[in-house]
A and B are shown apart, each in its own frame.
Chain A
Amino acid sequence: MATESTSFSLRDIAGSRFPLLEYAPDATVIVDGGGIIRLVNSQTERLFGYYREELIGHAVEMLIPERHRARHAGERTEYAADPHVRPMGVGLELFGLRKDGREFPVEISLSPIVTREGTFVASAIRDVTERKAFERRLQELNAELESANRAKDQFLASMSHELRTPLNAILGFTGTLLMKLPGPLNAEQERQLQIVRSSAAHLLSLINDIMDLAKIESGKREVTFEPVAIADVVAAVRDSLGSLAAEKGLRFSSDVAGDLAAVTDRRALHQILLNLINNAIKYTESGSVHVGARPVNSGGAPRIAIDVTDTGIGIRTVDLQRLFAAFEQLDPTTTRRFEGTGLGLYLSRSLTELIGGELTVQSTHGAGSTFTLTLPHTHEAL
């Protein structure tokens, strides 16, 4: 390694020609081929608690905990055979030993120094006690977070189970009574039992909404993308909500081409449309609810837009912004009139984001609203 260009000696390095070494932020220890300390800087004295006179002339192993000394001497010999700049002990936890016997974690980089007296090895040693403590704290925090998440999931699962269990008996026995299995009912008994049943069914749908939201927010809601005919989903929603519209005397129509399909999550699409159409029926006293679907090819990837249009109470411009927030029903006085927690649109928007779509609304207060769900045509557009 020694060449003609080597024009300085170890003394030069120690002296004023290299002030950087003396004041470097890392402890620097220069060792000769036999592992004897030849030079240290002031940071070395601070870090290891020795005066430099106590170090120079001694084997470098004095700075290493006893249990690592034998291995270190072996590695030193290897390094001397092939000296190049590299970190020491990659993947190992390295420790320094202070004069007072305390150990501390270190990071060391090695580089050969060629002088007129021969090749030395310089070690830059950094105390990483603080960084290790941070890392440990970070690991602890991560573990805490993970266990908190697990606890939350566990809580949700058991909450869902515990709420469903009594509902099973409520809906079940209301059902057996309405099936008249125990005996006949008079008209008023039947009417009241139907109220019990529809209220319990409403409670169940709220529980399901809350569980769905919790799943979406914790990233646990699974989506399966498959080709879905829009008309099929609209027909299924019409089957569930048609009688509700008929009871209110609303015209309920749909116009969806049979060949219009999107690659999407069928259950999410069904849930969103069920919410939108249910809202349209709920907030419309007279007139109609119409569902239409159309391909959108203007710019970018082809998309499909599904419009749910009603002739209901509509939404004031100032209210449009908080429409999709959780637990919002726009006019507090309408809460009496329209039962619900205000979770529906919030859930619909969350589901829409999950399947890469967009949910928008246009409305004229007093004249009706159109909610538009825009879906990517294919999954790749996500």
Chain B
Amino acid sequence: MARILVIDDNPANLDLMLYLLRAFGHDAVGASNGVAGYEALRDGEYSLVLTDILMPGMDGYEIARRMKADARLVSTPLVAVTALAMAGDRARIDAAGFADYISKPIEPTTFVAQIERHLLPRTQT
């Protein structure tokens, strides 16, 4: 069981990811936009962060940039879950320092296993 923060401004997609993570036994916390997500990150301890990329206010790239600049957050794995699918998007996400990139639509049967690979061994139980 790991504590995982999920940031997505689309309520249905946030609901879906939280549901799947909880169904597989994780303590999943949701944030409905980038600003709220970053505040949750500052105030809490998470083993993994999943974030959408395109969000009003603060996007996924900005969250990545701030986490990389923060000594406490720099080693927390950050995974992009995005509906961006153009050729340039993938390269930009790789360059921004995300640990992984999962494209929407997600595959519900493998989604949780895919993100669990990024949990650091000490946080897995």
Contact = CB atoms under 8 A, between A and B. Distances in A.
Contacts of A161: 54, 83-85
A170 to B, nearest CB: 8
B123 interface: no
B83 A171 contact: no
B71 interface: no
A164 B13 contact: no
Contacts of B84: 157, 161
Given A157-B86, A164-B83, A165-B13, A172 B54 contact: no
A160 interface: yes
A335 interface: no
A179 B113 CA distance: 14
A183 to B, nearest CB: 11
A175 interface: yes
B87 to A, nearest CB: 6
Contacts of B36: none
A165 B10 contact: yes
Interface SS majority for chain A = helix
The winner among B13, B85, B106, B109 for most chain A CB atoms within 10 A is B85
Contacts of A167: 104-105
B87 A220 contact: yes
A169 interface: yes
Interface in B96-121: 103-109
A160 B86 contact: yes
Given A157-B86, A160-B85, A169 B16 contact: yes
A194 B113 CA distance: 23
Nearest to B103: A164
B86 A172 contact: no
Given A164-B104, A165-B104, A181-B23, A172 B16 contact: yes
Interface residues of B, number: 21
A176 interface: yes
A168 B85 contact: no
Given A161-B54, A168-B83, A176 B13 contact: no
Contacts of A179: 108-109
B12 interface: yes
B15 to A, nearest CB: 8
A343 B98 CA distance: 35
A138 B55 CA distance: 39
B19 A168 contact: no
A176 B83 contact: no
Contacts of B104: 164-165, 167-168
A166 B103 CA distance: 13
Contacts of B10: 165, 168-169
A88 interface: no
Q: Among A156, A160, A169, which residue has the most Cβ atoms of chain B within 10 A?
A: A169
Nearest to B23: A181
Given A161-B83, A169-B10, 13 more contacts: A156-B86, A157-B84, A160-B86, A167-B105, A168-B16, A168-B104, A169-B13, A170-B105, A172-B105, A173-B12, A173-B16, A215-B87, A222-B87
18 contacts: A156-B86, A161-B85, A164-B85, A164-B104, A164-B105, A165-B104, A168-B10, A168-B13, A168-B105, A169-B10, A173-B12, A176-B16, A176-B108, A179-B108, A181-B19, A181-B20, A211-B85, A220-B87
Interface of B: 10, 12-13, 15-16, 19-20, 23, 54, 83-87, 103-109
Interface of A: 156-157, 160-162, 164-173, 175-176, 179, 181, 200, 204, 211, 215, 220, 222
Among all A-B residue pairs, the 5 with the closest Cβ atoms: A175-B108, A169-B12, A164-B83, A168-B104, A172-B16
